[in-house]
Structure 1
Amino acid sequence: MAPLPRITPMLATPGRLPLPGGDDRWAVETKQDGQRAVVYLPGDGTVQVRSRSGEVITSAYPELRDVGGALGGTPAVLDGEIVALDEEGRADFERLQSRMGLTRAPVRAVERAAELTPAHLVLFDVMFLGGQSLLAQPYAERRQVLRSLGLDGPRWSVPGAAVGRSAEALDLTRASGLEGIVCKRLASRYEPGVRSRSWIKIRNVLTVDAVIGGWVPGRGHLAGLPGALLLGERTEGRLRYIGSVGTGWSERERAALAGLLSVAAVASCPFTPMPRIAGAHWVLPRLVGEVKYTSRTRAGYLRHPSWHRLRPDLAPEGSA
């Protein structure tokens, strides 16, 4: 049996609605929040799973071994994402992190991790099947082939896709607490290793009015200027740390913030409990900023935060 071709996964480009050319040219899938995986099925009952970088990660996910026989003797290369699901069936990247990086761990430790946090393989493309490359076939045809394979098992599945309903799908993912959507041009070929405009990922963006409780200096030409702001929220009378933000502002905004922070400098940390952050400078918690983010960890920290604007019209609740 000829060896399977090594294929680097195609990547999506960040974007927004409306979609170029109109909705009827695009399929919409739910954006999965997990670890990208290329799945190699030689057709002999075995499976090899590789990460986006090409690293073999099969041993980290023993519960996916049975997918090796899902297509019988038909060799295939499939594209997908490994996720860990929460109690409501949503992908939870924070949970999956306990599984990632276990490729060299003892077998018993890996099996124990699989029992505590089982993984699920979401398959959304087929690049090679039965000795034939499908890379040049349009997405719509590859999708039809993938659906025909009956790949629905105890630890793997093929997600749904809709055509012509991108805005509705984005609203639905937002209401369901999901990360967002990926829109794929129906006529597009599979482009290995390319961050293509034929795949567009659109994240749900949330905002929070966060209190600035400190900052960390930047490096190099940013020395002495804020490299990141330390953010908090008022909870039960205390300022709770919710993470830091270091992107989204212009150099002019950075300089203006530096001036405001220097005036508000204090010696004591305003957060309870105090976060362990090397080189932190504390300030009076009187400045409020609007920050964009995609979701929160279970501990309440912001994921993918980005600065939007200072809110001088807002007073931090409960500040002195």
Structure 2
Amino acid sequence: MELPQIPPMLATPGSLPPARQDARWAYETKQDGQRAVVSLPGDGTVLLRARSGRDITAAYPELAALGTALGSTPAVLDGEVLALDAEGRADFQLLQSRMGLADSPGLAARRAARTPVHLVLFDLLHLGDRSLLPLSYTRRRGRLEELGLSGPAWSTPGAVVGHGAEALRATREHGLEGLVCKRLDSVYEPGVRSRAWIKIRNLRTEDVVVGGWLPGRGRLGGLPGALLVGQRAAGSLRWVGGVGTGWSEAEREELAGLLRAAASDECPFDPVPAVAEARWVVPRLVGEVRYSTRTRDGMLRQPSWVRLRPDLTPEESSAYLPDGTA
């Protein structure tokens, strides 16, 4: 059977629904992986498509057995491919070693032996000869759970109805990426970033020391387009990433003046990062950044600027890399 190609529905960033509407929503753990729409034609094969529509099946050979999980019943499912760390949490850095290998099946197989992936399934879009897109989330989710899809490299994690505040708190306590809130009566909107699905990312904040910057382009000419920031470890300032968002126009102007006054020909980071067009400064400015998580070598993922900390010197700040990082 030829199954429809369905682009995935997308969630809108936001916050928890009002408490009075809590019972109208389901809550699922937000996963840090690669989105995949999974087609099972019913002939024993499986086809995985990325959010872009690209065929990524060959990148994940350990998921091939999913093709027989429903016998001859065709289906299209929505899910996320994850690589799990030793504590069973999704680790995007681990997954990166598995991504982009759809055209290199031999290499994909070797990587699969070292870093296996796990597919979590959270929606059912088509079953048999029927589209489930017009059905409510509640009905689609019920049909998905009836399929009992659980195997060596795939599962169907549960969803919680109501209790959103408790669910969000649990993701924070367990160091998970966040929460996705889904309205119970919502239909599936292919390719749409919908307010019927809301994603909440758990963000952390830390102090950093500014050690350089990158010039902006276009209307930002002469102003910082990104700050290069670091934290101390083993007596040196280690680069932990570039921060390019989070400022108002006035704050960017203020930073430009401070950076010009602190200009230096010497890079303060050890080791020196390979960043083209970097402008270095004396590392005396402290700022606070918000970020989602760290890579295993200490780099900040998805950092954004919160505020300058003129009340702190680098020595007084908490800008230290955590133990065991970098």
TM-score of the two chains, using structure 1 as the length reference: 0.97
After TM superposition, list the pairs within 5 Å mapping 1:2-41 onto structure 2: 2-19=1-18, 22-41=21-40
**1:21, distance to aligned residue in structure 2 (A):** 5.4
Aligned-residue offset at 1:130? 1.2
Residue-by-residue CA offset, 1:185-238 (whole Å, 9 max, x unaligned): 001000001000000000001101111011110112212210000101122321
Do 1:289 and 1:309's aligned partners in 2 also have CA atoms closer than 8 Å? Answer: yes
Structure 1 partner of 2:85: 86
Deviation sequence 1:82-123 (CA, Å, 0-9, x none):
111110111111111111110111x32121011011011110
Amino acid at match of 1:10: M
**Residues 29-63 of structure 1 deviation map (CA, whole Å, 9 limit, x = unaligned):** 00011111000011111111111111111111110
Residue 46 of structure 2 corresponds to residue 47 of structure 1:
yes
What one-letter code is carried by the residue in structure 2 that aligns with 1:122?
V
- Asked if 2 retains the 8 angstrom alpha-carbon contact of 1:234 and 1:318, the reply is no
Describe how 1:206-217 pairs up with structure 2 within 5 A. Answer: 206-217=204-215
After superposition, where does 1:194-233 map in structure 2 within 5 Å? 194-233=192-231
Which of 175, 179, 182 is the aligned partner of 1:181? 179
Are the equivalent residues in 2 in contact too, given 1:234–1:317 (CA < 8 A)? no
Unaligned runs of 5+ in 2: 318-326
Question: Match of 2:135, as an amino acid?
Answer: Q
Partner Cα distance (2:210, 2:99) in 1? 33
Moved >2 Å (runs of 4+): 17-21
Aligned-residue identity in percent: 66
Q: Is the 8 A contact 2:203 2:292 kept in 1?
A: yes
Q: Pick one of 282, 285, 288 that aligns with 2:286.
A: 288
For the residues of structure 2 that align with 1:318 and 1:269, how far apart are their CA atoms?
Answer: 21
Q: Structure 1, unaligned stretches of length 5 or more?
A: none
| 1:254 partner SS | helix
Q: Which residue in 1 is equivalent to 2:68?
A: 69
What SS does the aligned partner of 1:124 have? strand
CA distance in 2, matches of 1:39, 1:139: 18
CA distance in 2, matches of 1:230, 1:220: 20
- The residue type paired with residue 26 of structure 1 is W
Q: Deviations over 1:144-185 (max 9, x none)?
A: 111110100000000111111211111111121111010000
Return the alpha-carbon distance in structure 2 between the equivalents of residues 40 and 162 of structure 1: 26
8 Å CA contact 2:11, 2:196 repeated in 1: yes
Match of 2:151 in 1: 153
Q: How many correspondences in the alignment?
A: 317
